């Protein structure tokens, strides 16, 4: 077995564990966690100063971002959301309120606005990133499709990349491969912002 396949196996095991824990989390606890994450993100100076914020519309058991997106939009931030392309890459389009979203592929909700191109994320002042787990070195466990790693590779080194996770998902070690792009901070419901130190 090669090193890469061992890393992929460890990723798959950790992914399955976290998804099972998220599924077992009662809906009211997920809702409360989403509100705490929303408030913590809105208080971040990096987000308050950001003119353009790339974010995502949560689905399933992900920490909720719907209220956060609405709050950012209402206070005048320009919010970009991903649009999944057929090749697995992410295009970006503007969020113009909850009524501006339409069903996308893989159960996603996407903006109905015209796409701005895959490089639009590079113009964001802050990027909110979905994750299943994050470690102190910024290694992020995603869903396994690689879409976000491709997108984050376009973002400059000084732009805050902020993962939103539940308590207990800031873990000791996340297995990583060469193409995995580290994040620079994590927000959890109880601890709020945790700055990370990518290697």
Please report the pLDDT score of residue 4 as a whole number: 55
- pLDDT of residue 3 exceeding 90: no
Spatial CA neighbour of 81 closest among 144, 137, 128:
128
pLDDT band with cut points at 50, 70 and 90 for residue 178: confident
- pLDDT of residue 2 exceeding 70: no
Give the residue, 199 or 16, on which the prediction is more confident.
16
Phi, psi of 181 (to 5 degrees): -95, 125
- HSE of 56, CA atoms in CB hemisphere, 13 A: 25
- pLDDT of residue 1 exceeding 70: no
Please report the pLDDT score of residue 54 as a whole number: 98
Place of tokens 């689905």: 59
Spatial CA neighbour of 138 closest among 76, 184, 70:
184
Residues in the chain: 199
Q: Tell me the percentage of the chain whose pLDDT exceeds 70.
A: 98
Query: d(Cα 151, Cα 115) in Å, to the nearest integer?
Result: 14
- pLDDT of residue 29 exceeding 60: yes
Contact 12, 139 (CB under 8 A): no
Question: Could you report the per-residue pLDDT of 99-145, keeping only the tens digit for each?
Answer: 999 988 777 899 999 999 999 999 999 999 999 999 999 999 998 88
Please provide the average confidence, as pLDDT, over all residues in the chain: 93
Q: Which domains does the chain have, with CATH numbers?
A: 3-195 (3.40.50.10420)
Query: d(Cα 173, Cα 156) in Å, to the nearest integer?
Result: 25
DSSP track, 127-193: EEEE-SEEETT--EE--SS-HHHHHHTTS-TTS-EEEE--TT-EES-----TTPPPPSEEEETTTEE
End-to-end CA distance of the chain: 26
What's the DSSP call for residue 14? H
Query: d(Cα 183, Cα 199) in Å, to the nearest integer?
Result: 11
The arithmetic mean of pLDDT across residues 190-195, rounded, is 96
pTM: 0.93
Burial zone of 122 (CB within 10 Å; 0-12 exposed, 13-18 middle, 19+ buried): middle
The arithmetic mean of pLDDT across residues 83-87, rounded, is 92
What's the DSSP call for residue 113? S
Question: Could you report the per-residue pLDDT of 50-60, keeping only the tens digit for each?
Answer: 999 999 999 99
- pLDDT of residue 163 exceeding 90: yes
Question: Could you report the per-residue pLDDT of 18-27, keeping only the tens digit for each?
Answer: 999 999 999 9
């Amino acid at each position: 077995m090669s090193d890469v396949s061992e890393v992929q196996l460890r990723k798959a095991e950790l992914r399955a564990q976290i998804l099972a824990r998220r599924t077992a989390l009662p809906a009211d606890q997920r809702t409360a966690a989403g509100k705490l994450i929303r408030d913590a993100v809105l208080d971040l100076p990096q987000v308050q100063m950001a003119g353009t914020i790339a974010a995502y519309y949560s689905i399933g058991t992900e920490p909720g971002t719907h209220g956060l997106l609405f709050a950012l939009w209402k206070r005048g931030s320009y919010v970009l959301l991903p649009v999944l392309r057929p090749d697995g890459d992410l295009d970006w389009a503007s969020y113009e309120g909850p009524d501006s979203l339409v069903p996308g592929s893989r159960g996603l909700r996407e903006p109905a606005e015209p796409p701005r191109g895959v490089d639009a994320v590079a113009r964001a002042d802050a990027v909110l990133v979905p994750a299943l787990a994050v470690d102190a070195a910024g290694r992020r466990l995603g869903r396994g499709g690689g879409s976000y790693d491709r997108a984050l590779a376009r973002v400059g080194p000084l732009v805050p990349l902020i993962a939103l996770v539940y308590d207990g998902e800031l873990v000791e070690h996340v297995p990583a491969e060469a193409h995995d792009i580290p994040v620079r901070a994590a927000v959890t419901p109880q601890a709020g912002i945790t700055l990370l130190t990518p290697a």
